[in-house]
Amino acid sequence: AHLDRIAAVDDRVHAFLHVDAEGARAAALEVDERRSAGEPLGPLAGVPVGVKDIVVTRGVPTTAGSKILEGWRPPYDATVVERMRAAGLVILGKTNLDEFAMGSSTEYSAYGPTYNPWDLTRIPGGSGGGSAAALAAYEAPLTVGTDTGGSIRQPGAVTGTVGAKPTYGGTSRYGLVAFSSSLDTPGPCARTVEDAALLHAVLAGHDPRDSTSIPQPVPDVVGAARRGATGDLSGVRLGLVREFGGEGAEPGVMAAFRDGLDALTKLGAEVVEVSCPHFQYALPAYYLIAPSECSSNLARFDGVRYGLRVGDDGQKALEEVMSLTREAGFGPEVKRRVIIGTYALSSGYYDAYYGQAQKVRTLITRDFTSAFEQVDVLVSPTTPFVAFPLGSRTSDPYQMYLADLFTIPTNLYGGPAISVPVDSRRACRSASRSWRRRSPTTGCTGWQPR
Ligand code: GLN
């Protein structure tokens, strides 16, 4: 059914870069066999899943949204993929993303953008726009994303779906195409919090192949999600960050956020204002740390080891082939970040830029620690603006970077975070209306919210 759905709508949504119909059918049959053989399988056995194309899949193309990896078929599975296969999840294919997960709209994908299923003229968020759009368009019930600065949560927010960033080290980075290694975190995307929790339970857990993986048991987030669904929040203290008091966010976004807060206080939660004075420096610190790490990680794409090779005519020097390959293989945003990162790490500038950003990161961590002495959770809008029209921010990188104003502090700290629709029942009702209204454009009729 999901393959049919993809065939019906993905030419308009473009959530997928690669659909592995044959692999998915074979995996589904294998799950049946394992079940008949009496193998105890988890609650998600047989459930289809889309995987962001920056997570490596054995034998299935993995591009990271870049021309430089076109045609590469990895010889191994990422740990999160291995775990999903073991749990009987069926991989439908690979979802679109900004090149190397750098971006907030999926417009920086070298293979063309993904369109927001609610309004095909608008962006589905990024970098994991494909994973979020696939959920919103009912092409997949679950998807996997990666969150370095907000790439699971911001696409969730602008597509009315749920995106959860696990604790850094809670899910293994083994088999992610590395962007910023001290921040990269794979995690679940779903249409409900409980679905996200169920997928998290499959993805999370210690992995000796990732040196920053947490060697501790995974907390029971499925139980927590189910307890949360009972609707009693008495005794829960929500921290409202004073420094996020509305500046930088569209008035409509703040109004929706306040509606959400009201709903939570009606369920018994208490709102406490907390101060996190260094959060205002999170965005600039991130845009030094992430490019610095990316400039180092992306050095491996040299035309020798993987994918694209340009200018290798037997005459040119190796360095020239590398340079021609990188010139042709990387898009403008990736080049911008490699250049910024190389500059920030160069001798003479290291202390002033990278070193300074690391100190800011420590101060932000202290803000979180002191906030959590007063409250159980911090709340904010996920993103300062609603889904913007395609093309409206691509010419101004700073405008694009602002999409992660609220999400980035958590990445620098390393804690878990989730984006949820303000009122999922209302969102579902208007989703079904909007789909009907738009069905001539998208052809996306015939589904019912669960
Ligand atoms: N928008 C951020 C960036 O461009 C987020 C990236 C991410 O989380 N992968 O770096």
When divided into structural domains, the chain yields a total of 1
For residue 62, give both structure tokens. 């993995």
148 lines ligand 1 (CB under 6 A): yes
pLDDT of residue 438: 42
At 214, is the secondary structure helix, strand, or coil?
Answer: coil
The answer to the question of residue 16 being in a domain is yes
ipTM: 0.98
pTM: 0.94
The answer to the question of residue 281 being in a domain is no
* Residue ID of nearest Cα to ligand 1 atom 6: 149
Q: Give me the DSSP letters along 41-81.
A: --TTTT-EEEEETTB-BTTB---TT-GGGTT---SS--HHH
From first to last of the 450 residues of the chain, give the pLDDT tens digit: 999 999 999 999 999 999 999 999 999 999 999 999 999 999 999 999 999 999 999 999 999 999 999 999 999 999 999 999 999 999 999 999 999 999 999 999 999 999 999 999 999 999 999 999 999 999 999 999 999 999 999 999 999 999 999 999 999 999 999 999 999 999 999 999 999 999 999 999 999 999 999 999 999 999 999 988 888 899 999 999 999 876 778 988 998 999 999 999 999 999 999 999 999 999 999 999 999 999 999 999 999 988 899 999 999 999 999 999 999 999 999 999 999 999 999 999 999 999 999 999 999 999 999 999 999 999 999 999 999 999 999 999 999 999 999 999 999 999 999 999 986 445 444 444 444 444 333 434 434 333
Distance 149 CA to ligand 1 centre (A): 4
**Do residues 167 and 415 make contact, with C-beta atoms less than 8 angstroms apart?**
yes
Query: H helices of 351-396, where?
Result: 356-371
At 319, is the secondary structure helix, strand, or coil?
Answer: helix
pLDDT of residue 228: 82
150 lines ligand 1 (CB under 6 A): yes
Distances (CA, A) of 78 to 93, 177, 307: 14, 9, 18
Distances (CA, A) of 26 to 180, 184, 236, 354, 432: 34, 31, 46, 48, 32
Q: How far apart are CA 215 and CA 301, in angstroms?
A: 31
The residues annotated with a catalytic role in the active site are 52, 127, 151
The answer to the question of residue 114 being in a domain is yes
The answer to the question of residue 68 being in a domain is yes
Q: How far apart are CA 318 and CA 97, in angstroms?
A: 31
Which domain covers residue 220, as residue numbers?
Answer: 2-230+416-442
Query: H helices of 185-281, where?
Result: 193-203, 221-228, 251-266
The strand ranges marked E within 191-303 are 237-241, 270-274
Distances (CA, A) of 319 to 291, 309, 312, 342, 387: 23, 12, 11, 17, 42
- Return the ∠ at Cα 302 (arms to 297 and 308), rounded to 5°: 115
Specify the DSSP element, H or E, that contains 417: strand 417-419
Pocket mutation for ligand 1, best pick of 102, 393, 398 (most atoms within 8 Å of C-beta)? 102
Tell me whether strands 417-419 and 16-19 are parallel, antiparallel or unpaired. Answer: unpaired
**Residue that has been written with the tokens 């393959």 in this structure:** 3
The answer to the question of residue 124 being in a domain is yes
We report the CATH number of the domain holding residue 28 as 3.90.1300.10
55-83 pLDDT, tens digit each: 999 999 999 999 999 999 999 999 999 99
103 lines ligand 1 (CB under 6 A): yes
Specify the DSSP element, H or E, that contains 426: helix 424-442
The answer to the question of residue 336 being in a domain is no
pLDDT of residue 266: 93
307-319 pLDDT, tens digit each: 899 999 999 999 9
Distance 150 CA to ligand 1 centre (A): 6
The answer to the question of residue 14 being in a domain is yes
**Do residues 136 and 118 make contact, with C-beta atoms less than 8 angstroms apart?**
yes
The answer to the question of residue 371 being in a domain is no
Distance 354 CA to ligand 1 centre (A): 18
Backbone angles phi, psi at 357, to 5 degrees: -65, -35
